[in-house]
Each structure stands twice: as structure tokens, then as C-alpha cells.
Amino acid sequence: MLEILYQDRYLVAINKPSGLLVYKSPIDKKETRFALQLVRDQIGEFVYPIHRLDKPTSGVLIFALSSEVAKLMSDIFKSHKIEKEYIAVVRGYTKNSELIDYDLKLLLDKKAVELPFAVSRYPVARYSLIKLLPQTGRKHQLRRHLKHIFHRSTKLTQTYL
């Protein structure tokens, strides 16, 4: 059972745990559990994903209960009228504030993205808790931008403002 955070006659919002795909994807052909199917089975209605979160990302995931509402909400997301905020734990110290304006090349789904938690031979490591406010929605954008500034996220959680 997934935690339902909000539900009315148009939308249902769930708390998507890390490790769960939104829907069936070639990213992980072996996976048999998907948020879309779990929500559908849980509420007994067909649901339409409005957006997605990467498999390792936890956070609020919103589904529409009709194709018309799904299109309307998708258009709102695409027009950036909804602000997304992510909280990440990254290894190392970060600046108090930084704009990462770095073009990302298209990333194909040839292999899954894995983030290691072990820190090789070091018994302790330094971490920073940061807030990320993406302006676009490119694939694996936050992890790739963090890698560009020499940080690897160990945990991402997404919320909406």
C-alpha cells in the first residue's frame, strides 16, 4: 500500500518511495512493481501520470483520474507554473548558493543510474544537506548537475511549492 497524501475527484497524490518506478520502462526490465499499477489497484480507478520521478527519488507523485485532467495538469507542469523543490544529501561541502547553468547532453536509457552509499576506505565522510530548485525537467538533471560540480547525491526527495 502506498501512502495517499491527497485525493479528490480529479487527482490523487502519493508518497512515492525510493526504488519504485512510476510506470513500466526499459530502464529496468526486471521490475514488476510500478506506482501507476499500485495506485490503480489501491483506489480501484484508472490513473494517469502527470509527471514522473526517477526510480531512486522519493517524493510527491501526482496522478490524474481522467485523461482530460492529466492533459491540463501536464500543460501546467510544462509551463513551469508549479515550482519543484528537492532536498538532497551530497558528499562534501557545498557553496551557500550556486546556479548550475550547464548544458546536458541527451542521456539514453542504456543503463540504470546507481548511486553508491559506501565511501570506499574512509570510515567517515562529510555531507551537505541542500535545496535544489530546477528550472527545467531534463532526465536525471539534478544528479548530473551535482556530478558536474563534483558532488554525488545520496538521497533526493521532491516536494512542491
15: closest CA among 30, 4, 31?
4
CATH code for the part of the protein at 3-78: 3.30.2350.10
95 against 8, higher pLDDT: 8
pLDDT score, position 106:
55
136: closest CA among 87, 99, 76, 83?
83
pLDDT score, position 66:
97
Provide φ and ψ at 94, rounded to 5°. Answer: -120, 165
Q: How far apart are CA 111 and CA 118, in angstroms?
A: 21
Q: What is the pTM of this model?
A: 0.62
CB of 61 within 8 A of CB of 35?
Answer: yes
54 against 90, higher pLDDT: 54
Catalytic positions are 54
